[in-house]
Amino acid sequence: MKKYFLFLCVFVILSACTNTIGYLPDDEPKKLIVNAMMQTENNDNRIYLHYTGWTATTPVTDGIIHLYINGKLSETITAEDNYYPVKSIFQTGDRVKIEASSENGKYKAKAETRISAPLQIINVDTTYISLRDYNSWVGGKPVYDNYLRLNIQLKQPDIEAENTYYRLEVKQIFYSHKWHDGRDTLSIDTTYNYNYIYDTALTDGKPGHAIDEGFELIQKWNNYFGLFKSCYFKNREYNMTIDLKEDINYIHIDSQKAERYISIRFYSISESEHRYLYAMSSALDFDAENFIYAVPLIPNNIKGGIGIFSIANQVEYKLKEENCQDRY
């Protein structure tokens, strides 16, 4: 038990050295909160401004934001409803800076980020496999489900530093036609679920097994945002393995025709965004009643205020599977 106590002490000491968003005492001076997680090739980028508060935050509607690209003013932004719309177009390598103020300059905050180059998707191979669901038993026997396994060959651009950060997003859309009351009806279902447990990068170097069970003294980290780092690449290349469950509830076994569209997106993100989303993943699983769970500290990259400012660069790969209901 002594070694776990020492581990927690070291964790607390290391955490104290980081720039984080912690609890605010009642007499803490009011600050600007800047929330801006934007993307390239997005025509609906937004920046949100709030004031800190003891029990709740307050939207800022009289703020002014100056946005600079590579040292030159790109636009001056004022509020539209409860957000600040961004019209600027961003490109790989751009250094983007924002300066936000409110109440005639009484409150100020600023932040800067650099846009990394997108990953290159070299190839995507697919195969059908059967996997046992985690801790699933029926009649004393394990339960297996069908999955579509994606083997994705990735390459890191040569212009980027070797130590870079990424995020994966997988979207599945199921279209199924079936006859109802003499008419052809269309059902559309969308899911973002996928299984990453067998991939080294997505498990941060700790790939597991779907049937691993048992008590874990140290809190398990679930990768809710598909985060991974380039340190797992070899010669700037990496083969990623993810599994998509062929959920019969979405496919509709009695449909006349069914199609599945799969969108695979990789986002090149900043270290600040990676640290922020990593902490948010821990916060989603935080159990206040478990004394050994460390309280998540949310990173902050805003000077003069708190919050997160980042711009992700993306690449997308699309797949289509027709007549997927014929497999059942």
Answer yes or no: is pLDDT of 13 > 60: no
Model confidence pLDDT, tens digit, residues 54-102: 888 999 999 999 999 999 999 999 999 899 999 999 999 999 999 999 9
Q: Which residues contact 91 (CB under 8 A, 6 or more apart)?
A: 40, 115
Model confidence pLDDT, tens digit, residues 242-275: 999 876 555 555 666 778 899 999 999 999 999 9
Instruction: Report d(CA 309, CA 146) in Å as an integer.
Output: 40
Average pLDDT over residues 297-322: 91
Q: Which of 176-180, 207-211, 220-224, 300-304 has the lowest mean pLDDT?
A: 207-211
- Residue 293: predicted pLDDT: 65
Q: Which residues contact 3 (CB under 8 A, 6 or more apart)?
A: none
CB 96 within 8 A of CB 113: yes
CA-closest candidate to residue 34, choices 143, 91, 150, 113: 113
Answer yes or no: is pLDDT of 115 > 80: yes
Q: How confident is the model at residue 38 (pLDDT cuts 50, 70, 90)?
A: very high
CA-closest candidate to residue 47, choices 110, 126, 93, 92: 110
CB 227 within 8 A of CB 278: yes
Q: Which of 113-122, 286-295, 306-315 has the lowest mean pLDDT?
A: 286-295
Q: Which residue has the higher pLDDT, 1 or 261?
A: 261
Model confidence pLDDT, tens digit, residues 215-239: 444 556 789 999 999 999 999 999 9
What residue ranges do the domains of the chain occupy?
Answer: 30-113, 118-297+312-319
- Residue 138: predicted pLDDT: 63
CB 55 within 8 A of CB 34: no
The CATH T-level fold of domain 30-113 is Immunoglobulin-like (2.60.40)
